[in-house]
Amino acid sequence: MKLDYDLNSYIEKIKKSNSYFHTFINRESLAAGILVLQPNEEDTQEPHNSDEVYYVISGDGFLKIKNNDYKISKDKLFFVAKGVEHYFHGNTKELKVLYFFGGPDS
């Protein structure tokens, strides 16, 4: 199993693909990845089967969790419980976020 990860290589992979995220660890007990959302790009994710943590690397905008908007800024951390509707929106700069699931990314 790989033990070290270069986030910039995954960001480049995202930029060359049709997806705005890439999961680089996907195990039964943990998943981790990076999300890169451009201004006006829609976050189409659905509620997940595991709890999730987001760590904002850079960017701005909001994370809607249920019916509340939470302002995004560098170095903020957010928790989203499994099954809860959520999505990023309103960013005017490129948004880069690390995500971690308490289980596989399904």
What pLDDT is recorded for position 11? Answer: 96
Q: What is the pLDDT of residue 105?
A: 85
Q: What is the pLDDT of residue 49?
A: 94
Could you tell me the two tokens for 61?
Answer: 């905008």
Instruction: Provide the whole-model pTM.
Output: 0.93
| Measured distance CA(45)–CA(62) in Å, rounded | 15
pLDDT for 102 equals: 94
Residue-wise DSSP of the chain: ------HHHHHHHHHTSS-SEEEEEE-SS-EEEEEEE-TT--------SS-EEEEEEE---EEEETTEEEE--TT-EEEE-TT--EEEE--SS-EEEEEEESS---
Domains of the chain as residue ranges with CATH: 7-101 (2.60.120.10)
What does the pLDDT read at residue 52? 97
CA distance 65 to 85: 6
pLDDT, averaged per 10 consecutive residues of the chain (106 residues), comes to: 92 95 95 96 94 98 97 97 97 98 88
